[in-house]
Amino acid sequence: MNIVDRVLNKIVSYRINNKIFTKDIARKMPIYSSWHVKWSGVKKGCIRFETDEIYPGMLQIGFDRIATGLLGGKASSVVIEGNGCIVFKGKADLSQGISIRVADNAIISIGSGIYTNGYCSIRCRKNISIGKDNMWGWNVLVMDTDGHPIYDSQNNVINENKPIEIGDNVWIGAESRVLKGAVVPDGCIVGMGSVVTRKEKSLNAILVGTPAKVVKENISWYRGDFKK
């Protein structure tokens, strides 16, 4: 990171912290944002930290800590509409290309220790709850809505938005999708390219396929590289 990037990052971070937080919190600079992140609709209280300790750079967003060889632009975005809110319960590292959109009165809750690889996307119109110590591969999509309404012959909406729950210590593989109404229990792995569409019940399981199904239970996973 060159000196120009560092200066621009600090300017954007200072501005965003002071837009969102009261002075006593803003001076701690809990958000460290890349200048490539486009912030829209942010105002006082739209992002909250629910933790006993608030420190500089708890939320790192938009930086290029991505898989080696992964290609793509640096642009990232956070859009918060009306009374939408994002709650962080500890440290978070949302890498380059992150895209988050929160609708009016919707809420995203994110546990401590999340890391997302490049170009992940979260779309929330109701409620998305993400546990602690999550790890997401690149191009993961989490969306609690179909995006557009579908009507029956009596003009009733038949595809209501439904909340999503992702547990603690979950690894979501690259190119995967977690869609409305899905529940991913603690300790699970979502295999690369899988689509989770329903409430799963098995803890510590591997989910694979479209729609994703349990293919192995009683597993654990390690956040680092293979041991040599």
Torsion of CA 149, 75, 109, 160, to 10 degrees: 0
Strands 212-216 and 206-209: antiparallel
64, 60, 84: which is closest to 74 by C-alpha?
A: 64
**Residue 109, beta-bridge partner list:** 87, 129
The answer for residues whose C-beta is within 8 angstroms of residue 129's C-beta and 6 or more apart is 108, 109, 163, 164, 165, 166
Please say if 36 is a catalytic residue. no
Catalytic residue among 2, 4, 71, 148: 148
By annotation, the residues acting in catalysis are 148
